């Protein structure tokens, strides 16, 4: 009787683990994936930005509550940013070693493209971990990138926290309305 009960409990636990996904690596990254304190391009910098055209500043990320609209020919202090990404997808067609020389992708693997880091490097979600890899040949669709195929490009929104001339702090998702954010310009 005790053996039967123990066997039933053991089987019940196994069924629960299988159905609930306990012990399994996530299939993909959270959506959206949020890269905090991110500056999403080569030469990107925070600091004093010039306002190129009127831009609403929101109370918080994703909020519809506008705290102020900054006007052209003024300045804000860009403090930090977050890149919110719906991951892209790359399918691996042949074995390939990542730039870190520790990670090897094999045929059939799926790489989820997250935020761009610059110099061709992107954060990639692979087997439940984030690694940095140079996938520029793949994402550009170059013929030499035969080891993988870009299935879907990532879609990202860059939210920037700014301090306004009034002293208020808020967020914008319209960084294209500002200048002085690229150290190479």
User: Is residue 77 assigned to a domain?
Assistant: yes
Q: What is the pTM of this model?
A: 0.80
Q: What is the pLDDT of residue 185?
A: 87
Tell me the C-alpha distance between 120 and 122, whole Å. 7
In a domain, 3, yes or no: no
Residue 57 lies in a domain: yes
Q: How many structural domains is the chain composed of?
A: 1
Task: Give the C-alpha separation, 55 to 69, whole Å.
Answer: 5
Residue 6 in domain: no
pLDDT along the chain (185 residues), means of 10: 42 42 66 95 95 98 96 98 97 96 96 93 96 95 92 97 97 98 93
In a domain, 28, yes or no: no
Per-residue confidence (pLDDT) for residue 118, from 0 to 100 = 87
- Which structural domain, as residue segments, surrounds residue 108? 33-179
The answer to the question of residue 15 being in a domain is no
In a domain, 27, yes or no: no
d(CA 77, CA 79): 6
Q: Which residues contact 167 (CB under 8 A, 6 or more apart)?
A: none
> Residue 12 domain-assigned?
no
């Amino acid at each position: 009787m005790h053996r039967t009960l123990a066997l039933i409990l053991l089987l019940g636990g196994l069924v629960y683990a299988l159905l609930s996904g306990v012990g399994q690596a996530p299939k993909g990254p959270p959506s959206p994936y949020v890269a905090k304190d991110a500056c999403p391009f080569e030469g990107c910098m925070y600091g004093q930005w010039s306002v190129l055209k009127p831009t609403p500043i929101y109370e918080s990320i994703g909020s519809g509550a506008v705290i102020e609209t900054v006007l052209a020919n003024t300045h804000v202090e860009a403090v930090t940013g977050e890149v919110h990404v719906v991951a892209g997808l790359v399918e691996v067609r042949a074995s390939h070693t990542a730039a870190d020389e520790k990670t090897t992708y094999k045929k059939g693997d799926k790489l989820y493209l997250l935020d761009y880091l610059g110099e061709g490097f992107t954060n990639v979600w692979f087997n439940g971990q984030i690694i940095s890899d140079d996938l520029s040949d793949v994402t550009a669709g170059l013929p030499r990138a035969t080891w993988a195929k870009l299935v879907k490009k990532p879609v990202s929104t860059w939210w920037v926290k700014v301090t306004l001339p009034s002293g208020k702090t808020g967020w914008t998702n319209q960084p294209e309305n500002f200048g002085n954010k690229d150290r190479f310009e």
